[in-house]
Amino acid sequence: MKPNKKLLGKFLPGMFIMLAMLIVACGGGNSGTSSTGSKLSDDKQIYVTPYSGISDVATLDPALSTDLESIGAIDTMFTGLVQLDDSLKVYGELAEKWSTSSDGLTWTFTLRQGMKFSDGNPITADDVIFSIDRALKPELKSTVAPSYLALVKDSDKRFTGKIPTLINDSLFAPDPTTVKIVTNRKAAYFLDALTYSTSYVVEKSLIQKYGDTEYFKHLDKGGCSGPFILDKRLPGQYISFVPNANYYGPKSQIKKYIIAFYKDPQTTYKAYKTNQIDEAGVPTANLDEARAFPNKQFRQAPTLAIDYITMNYMAKPFDNIKIRQAFDLAIDKDTIAQNIWKGARIASNHVIPQGMPGYNPDLKGPAGVTSTKGDKDLAKKLFQEGLQAEGLTASTFPTINFTVATSGSQSAKNEFEFVQQQWKDTLGVTVNINDEDFNKILDDSSNTVNNPKGLQMWALDWIADYPDPQDWTSLLFGKGSSNNNFNYGLGKPTDLTTQQQIQDLMPTADANQNNAERISQYNKIEQQLVEDTAWISIDQRQSSYVLKPCVKGVVDNAQLLTPPRDWANIYKTSDSPCGNTNSYK
C-alpha cells in the first residue's frame, strides 16, 4: 500500500520493513490450530501487533494515507462507501447499494440506515461528499488524492484551486442517504479506486469545529466510522485502539488493539519469542527456526507486492534505455530471492504480480531476456552501446547515488550491497548507497515528479491498492499521474516516443468494458514498461510471519489489510504460548 501508498499510493511501508498486518477472515475460522483453549475474558482480549523500523505512523488522516502502516491504523477507525473483502472483491460498506447512469458517468449510492459516528452523530451523505471534496483541498497537499480520486469530474481543478469545491459540481447529496458522484470518463475500475482510504469518511461537523489537523487529535471523542476509536498515541512506544460502541457493523471481540513500534525486524522477532507481542515478521536469518515452531505458528503466503529499483528518467545517464536495461540485466534476482531472502521472496521481472488480474506468465524481461538471473554478457554489450550514444566511457561515467531505506533490516542491507557489487563487477560503475529514513525517502521520491534534480536512483516497493491492473500501470506511469516519480514519458529519454505511445494506450485500457480486450491491452502496456525498464523489478514478496496459537480467526490476505467487519471474528483463547499484554492494560 499504497509508493506515494506513501508518496505513491499505497506503498508498502519501507521497502524492506517486516510487516505483520494480518487479516481476519470474514465468516470466522481459526489460525490453523485446533481451538482447544477456552476464550479469554474481555479484559484479556488485547491483541498486540508490531510495526518494525518506524517510531510512529506517518498519518491518521485518510486524505493523506500513503503507506501500509498508516493505512492499517486508519482502517481500524474509518470506512468508505465501498471496500474490499478478504477475497479482494468490492463490497458495500457505508453504501447498501449503487447504480450507474446509462452513459456510465454518474454513480448513485444509497447509504445504509442508522449508521453513526463514534460520538453518536449520524453518518450522512453530506459527510461522504464533504470527505471526498476535502481530500482534494489544495491546502492539504495530498500526494494520493489526485490519483485515487482522479476519476471524479473536476478533481484536477479542485486540487489546483481553480474551483473552490466539488460539492454540487460532481459531488451531490440530494438527501441524507443518497450520494451522487459524476465521473469524467467511463472507467471499469472506479469502484476499486474508491476502496482506497483517500475516500474514507470523516465527520464534517468535527472537522469544521477542530480544523483539518486538530481533528485527528480528538478521535477518542468522536469522528470515527470504523470498528475502533483511538485510545492512545505514544510515538516511539505504541498506538492503541478500543472498540467503537456506535459502529454500525458487527462488534469487535478484541477489546484493545495495539500497534507497538520496534526499531528493527530482529528486535521485533525477539519480542515475539519472549511473548511480548502476539505476532511478528520473521527476519530472513530466522526463517528455519520459525518454521520449526510448534502449533503451526509460522505462516508464509504470496502478497500483491513488488520490490523494485527505479531511476529518474529526466536525469542523465538514465534517460538512455540501453543504460537502464544494462543495470537491470546485470542483477541476478534469483540469488537475491533464494540466498539473501532464503526463499521468502520470489524473483520477478514483472510490474503486475502473480495473483493479480492481468498477470502475464509469458512476460519477457528487458531486451527479451526471460530469465530472472539476468544476462551479464548482454548487460555489458548494452552498457557499451549506451555509453557510446551518450559520448561517455567507463572512466567518465558519473558516480550513481542510490537511495534506499533498510529500516534496520540486515537482509535489505545485504541485498543492496549485493546489487551494488553486481553493477561494479559487470558494468564497472561506482554506485554509492544512501540509506535514509523510510518516511524521508517517500518524500524525496514524491518530490522527484517532473524534477530532473530529484532522486537519481532509489529502491522502494508497491503493494496493490485494489485488485485491478490499472493500479500497476496507469496509476503509476500514466500521463499526468502524480505517482509518476520515475518521470516515465517525460524529459528527453532516447525512447520518449515509445513511452508516450504506451501512455496513450493506458486510458483506453482503463475504460474498456470488454474484460478480455482490456487485460490484453494491459499485458501490452506491462511488457513495454518492462522493456523500457520503467522499474528494475527485483522480487514479489511473501508474507513470512509467526502468530501465537492463542490468537484465533486470522487468515492470510494478499493485500495485508483487514476489512472492518472481520474484526468481529478474531479473539484470543487460553492456548499457550500467548503474548503478555499486561503492560498495555
Q: What is the DSSP string of 255-282?
A: SEEEEEEESSHHHHHHHHHTTSSSEEEP
Question: Any idea what DSSP says for residue 67?
Answer: S
- For the CA atoms of 538, 532, 2, 82, what is the dihedral angle to 10 degrees? -120
Q: Are 551 and 39 in contact (CB under 8 A)?
A: no
Please determine, for residue 37, whether its predicted confidence score (pLDDT) is greater than 90: no
Residues paired with 233 in a beta bridge: 239
- Tell which residue, 515, 115, 40, has the closest CA to residue 278: 40
∠66-72-75 over CA atoms, to 5°? 100
Please determine, for residue 350, whether its predicted confidence score (pLDDT) is greater than 90: yes
Read off the pLDDT of each residue in 377-381 and give the average, rounded to a whole number: 98
* CA 29 – CA 9 distance, rounded (Å): 31
Q: Rounded to whole angstroms, what are the CA distances from 367 to 225, 379, 420, 497, 545?
A: 50, 10, 22, 18, 36
pLDDT band at 147 (very low <50, low <70, confident <90, very high): confident
- Tell which residue, 313, 317, 311, 322, has the closest CA to residue 383: 322
Please determine, for residue 11, whether its predicted confidence score (pLDDT) is greater than 50: no
Give residue for cell 557510446: 388
Q: Are 80 and 194 in contact (CB under 8 A)?
A: yes
pLDDT band at 35 (very low <50, low <70, confident <90, very high): low
How far is the first Cα of the chain from the last one, in angstroms, to the nearest whole number? 31
Helix axes 410-427, 376-390, angle to 10 degrees: 70
* CA 536 – CA 327 distance, rounded (Å): 8
Please determine, for residue 318, whether its predicted confidence score (pLDDT) is greater than 70: yes
∠344-348-351 over CA atoms, to 5°? 120
| pLDDT of amino acid 585 | 66
Residues whose CB is less than 8 angstroms from the CB of residue 180 and which lie 6 or more positions away in sequence, other chains included: 106, 107, 108, 109, 171, 172, 173, 174
Region of residue 518 (left: phi > 0; alpha: psi -120 to 50; beta: else): alpha
| pLDDT of amino acid 584 | 74
Strands 228-234 and 178-182: unpaired
Please determine, for residue 254, whether its predicted confidence score (pLDDT) is greater than 90: yes
Q: Are 265 and 281 in contact (CB under 8 A)?
A: yes
Cβ-in-10-Å burial (0-12, 13-18, 19+) of 357 comes to middle
* CA 91 – CA 96 distance, rounded (Å): 9
Length of the chain: 585
- Tell which residue, 570, 64, 141, 163, has the closest CA to residue 152: 163
What's the pTM value of the predicted model, to 2 decimals?
Answer: 0.75
∠548-345-268 over CA atoms, to 5°? 35
| pLDDT of amino acid 321 | 95
Please determine, for residue 28, whether its predicted confidence score (pLDDT) is greater than 50: no
Per residue in 478-535, pLDDT (tens digit) is 999 988 999 999 998 888 999 999 999 999 999 888 889 999 999 999 999 999 999 9
- Work out the mean pLDDT of the chain and round it to a whole number: 90
Q: Greater confidence, 579 or 387? A: 387
Number of helices followed by number of strands (H, E) in the chain: 16, 21
Read off the pLDDT of each residue in 110-131 and give the average, rounded to a whole number: 97
| pLDDT of amino acid 210 | 95
* CA 525 – CA 176 distance, rounded (Å): 42
User: Percentage of the chain surpassing pLDDT 70?
Assistant: 94
Please determine, for residue 27, whether its predicted confidence score (pLDDT) is greater than 70: no
* CA 134 – CA 513 distance, rounded (Å): 30
- Tell which residue, 320, 330, 328, 309, has the closest CA to residue 426: 330
Q: Greater confidence, 530 or 24? A: 530
Q: Considering only 191-200, 369-378, 553-562, which range has the smallest mean pLDDT?
A: 553-562
Q: Rounded to whole angstroms, what are the CA distances from 446 to 55, 304, 305?
A: 21, 22, 19
* CA 294 – CA 386 distance, rounded (Å): 54
* CA 109 – CA 132 distance, rounded (Å): 14
**Phi, psi of 49, deg, nearest 5:** -120, 155
- Tell which residue, 119, 123, 148, has the closest CA to residue 136: 148
* CA 582 – CA 44 distance, rounded (Å): 8
| pLDDT of amino acid 68 | 84
Per residue in 538-584, pLDDT (tens digit) is 999 988 999 999 999 987 777 777 899 999 999 999 998 887 777 77
Read off the pLDDT of each residue in 207-236 and give the average, rounded to a whole number: 94
Q: Rounded to whole angstroms, what are the CA distances from 158 to 8, 134, 150?
A: 20, 10, 11
* Longest Cα–Cα distance in the chain: 73
Residues paired with 91 in a beta bridge: 83
